[in-house]
Chain A
């Protein structure tokens, strides 16, 4: 046995193992969104599920991002066929109610689904505190680079995407994002300056 050569050869294993070990810390399915920090794509969509007072809106009303400047917008993509959406459903309505008196607007967006199925789902799940809109042809979903549902975008008072969450969002996390935006005055985005 030539120990010197053996040691040299086994040192060659180090970079391979280092690469694999580093890979273990990554999620290959995670795709970083370029949106946070930029202006949120505009949308103007019709309400199909009214939500509950005090957050209710009339069915058929249009909700447009441009008309919500000065408010924090929580924009949540969901679908009735999405299992993970069930997980976050209660949390979202709960946080929406908690912040009802503040300058925060929750909007649900039905993704790749029919309104009747969406309404049935809301009924089955025990209601939804805030209104949901319909995204015809998934145009808004494409603008937001939707990867799957659920996905949640938190948009600050100046219309900038402050945070994007993939998968079910926990109540505490969402509340902390809202709190920090409420505490800090909105930074003017370059576009609106």
Chain B
């Protein structure tokens, strides 16, 4: 019953998307009964949302009720798995994740249509049609190769449960939805681009303003998703790291880079009427890169830790990429004449120059990561050899770019639009440079050896000072002009120019996260020892004493754990319990590290192995300074985006 309802909803959704995404735009274009066709396109958006909600709801219902007659439930469900992880396994495997994707896309589409319901013109109707055309592709997947609602017969009594790694941590409920909200959200700017071209509004600046806010929203989700993914990997995988340049991580990061570039270059277009064509390229490129990333992680074309089960779905994605890529390139190139921007660069020393450099660096960054990700494929195609591209490549290639970007983040806010003055700039940069020199000295004294580490720390110090100064100078001006108290002045300053100061807040988040990354990779120390209960090991200034090794049976797994006490001056000040979880479906135990976090850093502990009689355990202890700053930075970035995107109420 549930199954039939869901399958019908998917098929109806397919028809609705075909009508709204293909027939309606043709009708709108021909002009006859245009209003009726507009109504069809927009109605289809609502109808599709209702239908896909029914399908996704049916899946969650089936998961919750352990309805193993449905193929997806039989694949990821299990009676022993806690209800929470059972329901969120909606996005735990391939078919469910496509269903969830389609639902998020439908949600965004409703948002676009509803929030712009009073906007005249054809931009939004065409954009709705474009979103429905994208949704059509996902519906084709859902009734075809990724159909999660196949009938299983005979009905199994129980299922294997989700992949153990995906039911081992609460962040599984957070990271994937954020990622989808970010990834799928990039479809909206693309749809606006298509709408702008089809409606002829491409030459008018308004579509960019509309697009910016949607991009910012998706960007905030994507930023949060990337950081949450790092956190998840850190808490779950047991290696004490948070980023490994795995293809799946790169897939999320590559579009983030182009979206970041766009958020900066769009200001140049708004202020100075330059870069129209470039911005269109960034919008279209970001969307293409999300689709490419999805293809790479779901087709099995590139070897990754994060492989989804494979099937024929890769070919469908390939066809979709081909259609969108050819269509988008034709659209952009064919209309490039209309996009000649009248604006000109006035002076080399100006804020727009910094934005241009920022875009150049972000683009180089994007291509570096993209090439690194695709290189194994290229190498095999051209030379027939198997290669893998690992951390050394990425670190060597991207560290200079990152460091340069940090520097620019300090210079940009200090420069005015149009034409800057070298003397002014020198004067403004002085405090930043002093802080940078101080930070560099401290870092070298503390023991940093790599040049990039020193540069990273000191440029963070420089740029952070420069951004803080923007707040201080602005607030001080209000204090003297309006006689406000400093705190009030600061809040009013931000409220009065949310876009600008939201941007600076996001910058601060980057600095906080960058400090965490630089510190934890530069000053990390670790040790591993096999201990008998009562024995201790020393790593850095931390003494860890094994108390005991224990075992526990839980409903869906067996747990072996070690209780390890952290000791200072003979007194126990903390106790950690790294564990190994044994799931019946997994050959290998799932490591479950335990982390003690303080604002200054983490004590990360992993149970490497143990004697079955509990007589000893091998414990790995990693001391990672400032790691929590990365997660905190992520929060600040999102806060900045929120401030920046928050609509300003028009005063009557």
Contact = CB atoms under 8 A, between A and B. Distances in A.
B303 A28 contact: yes
Interface in A47-84: 81-83
B487 to A, nearest CB: 53
Contacts of B315: 24
A12 interface: yes
Given A13-B325, A19-B381, A6 B303 contact: no
Interface residues of A, number: 28
Contacts of B300: 27-28
Contacts of A7: 330
B329 A13 contact: yes
A9 B281 CA distance: 12
A5 B321 contact: no
A83 B377 CA distance: 30
The SS class assigned to the B binding surface is helix
A26 B301 contact: yes
Contact of A1 (B322, B335, B376): B335
Contact of B334 (A3, A21, A28): A3
A24 B329 contact: no
A184 interface: no
B381 A8 contact: no
Give the one of A1, A7, A12 with max B CB within 10 A: A1
A20 B296 CA distance: 9
Given A13-B325, A26-B301, A26-B380, A20 B318 contact: yes
B337 interface: yes
A27 B587 CA distance: 23
A22 B381 contact: yes
B253 interface: no
A9 B303 contact: no
B359 interface: no
B334 A17 contact: no
B314 interface: yes
A124 interface: no
A5 B381 contact: no
Interface in B374-395: 374, 376-378, 380-381, 386
Contact of A21 (B318, B330, B333, B378): B318
A29 B322 CA distance: 25
A10 interface: yes
B564 interface: no
Contacts of B374: 19
Interface residues of B, number: 31
A154 B386 CA distance: 25
A2 interface: yes
Contact of A6 (B334, B378, B380, B381): B334
Contacts of B314: 24
Nearest to A81: B587
Interface in B356-404: 374, 376-378, 380-381, 386
A13 B318 CA distance: 12
A5 B322 CA distance: 18
A172 interface: no
A31 interface: yes
A81 B300 CA distance: 25
B83 to A, nearest CB: 28
B326 interface: yes
Given A20-B318, A28-B300, A10 B329 contact: yes
B577 interface: no
Nearest to B314: A24
B332 interface: yes
A16 interface: yes
A81 B589 CA distance: 12
Contacts of B587: 81-83
Q: Which of A22, A23, A83 is the most central at the interface, judged by chain B CB atoms within 10 Å of its CB?
A: A23
A24 B332 contact: no
B301 A28 contact: yes
Interface string B316-350: 00100110011101111111110000000000000
B302 interface: yes
B306 to A, nearest CB: 13
A13 B322 contact: yes
A19 B322 CA distance: 12
B333 A5 contact: yes
B138 interface: no
A27 B302 CA distance: 8
B330 A6 contact: yes
Nearest to B302: A28
Given A28-B302, A29-B303, A23 B381 contact: yes
Contact of A9 (B318, B329, B376): B329
A130 to B, nearest CB: 25
B473 to A, nearest CB: 46
B268 to A, nearest CB: 24
Q: Which of B315, B318, B334 has the most CB of A within 10 A?
A: B334
Contacts of B301: 20, 23-24, 26, 28
Contacts of B336: 2, 5
Contacts of A17: 318, 321-322, 325
Contacts of B467: none
Nearest to B326: A10
A32 B386 CA distance: 9
Contacts of B377: 19-20, 23, 26
B260 interface: no
Interface string A91-116: 00000000000000000000000000
A23 B329 CA distance: 22
B462 interface: no
A185 B329 CA distance: 60
Contact of A16 (B303, B325, B330, B386): B325
Contacts of B380: 26
Contacts of B644: none
Nearest to A8: B333
A82 B314 CA distance: 28
Among B300, B302, B318, B326, which residue has the most Cβ atoms of chain A within 10 A? B326
A150 to B, nearest CB: 14
Given A26-B301, A29-B303, A20 B335 contact: no
16 contacts: A2-B336, A6-B333, A9-B332, A10-B325, A13-B322, A17-B321, A17-B322, A19-B381, A20-B301, A22-B381, A23-B301, A23-B302, A24-B299, A28-B302, A31-B386, A82-B587
Given A9-B330, A26-B377, 10 more contacts: A2-B334, A2-B335, A2-B336, A5-B334, A9-B332, A16-B325, A17-B318, A23-B301, A27-B300, A81-B587
Q: Which 8 A-B pairs have the closest CB atoms?
A: A9-B333, A6-B334, A6-B330, A28-B303, A9-B329, A10-B326, A23-B301, A13-B325
